[in-house]
Structure 1
Amino acid sequence: MNSRFISAALATAMIVAGASASAEIKPADVVWEDEIAIPMSLTGVPGDPARGAEVLSKRSLGNCVACHQNSAMPDVAFQGNVGPTFDGVGARWSEAELRGLVANAKRAFPGSMMPVFYNDSPADYIRPGDAYTAKAYNPETFSTLLTAQQIEDVVAYLVTLTEY
């Protein structure tokens, strides 16, 4: 085979792989398994545990530690005790179950106080609005609380928490 053909084939394969890897699943298109698990990645891109830890611990992002305690983050102040501890969560739940719980815990636990992080239907929120701005609902700017990649990042971090 000539090298130009091989180069062209490799370039095409890389473009196709890149396009499919970055295909984000929209909230309405998520396929659920047993009302708790999302077996497929929401992005096709592996999550980054370091970014997931940041989302989980930052008030301006997921702020998960406002309700959950995480012994793996002793420097994060004001951790909550409303939700279950993150200690050992990676041993208790599969990756698919964690993805489902982070995206929308209310599917598995209808009475949960946990926010629905991956849903863009205003009908499913008590007070849809523009984030924390107190601005009224605007269908052109309304979106999920966390992006699909942020969900994947949080899940990548949570699966590392196997110790109790």
Structure 2
Amino acid sequence: MKIALFPGSFDPVTKAHVDIVKRSVGLFDKVYIGIGVNSSKAGLLSIEKREQILRAVFESDPRIHIIAYEGLTVNFCQSIGASYMIRGIRTVSDFEYEKAIAQMNHSLAPEIESIFIVSKPGYSSISSSIVREIMRYNGDVTQFIPKEALAFL
């Protein structure tokens, strides 16, 4: 069974995240969306709220599982039996950053492959940090987040 992890903060989940997940499920038998818990960072949305939103967005696909985790992502991959880690790439700078992490992860756990999925052009400017900033100032984020998320925000 091919199991993959798509890790991230998902604070909040964006249409770009949804696109990466939907394009991934055809490649794997099971895809975990892992909400990384970083105790040194205060998120805009609680971990529980992010889980609720992601479950609402992906509830119709039994191949997608939502779970929060702490610690090294490669260790979490090993704990759930994931041999693949999915990462979305929007820009060249994303690639450089993700490449460095993938190489470090490979050193720690060579059995886990990093899979890069390039975002569609219409999503390349959407990031959770930009959406959070718009939300902080009561801006309209409806064009950037999945409709299922609106009820939670």
Counting strand residues as a fraction of each chain, which structure ranks higher? 2
Q: Please, what TM-score do these two structures have when normalized by structure 1?
A: 0.29
Task: Kindly name which structure, 1 or 2, has the bigger radius of gyration based on alpha carbons.
Answer: 1
Q: Please, what TM-score do these two structures have when normalized by structure 2?
A: 0.30
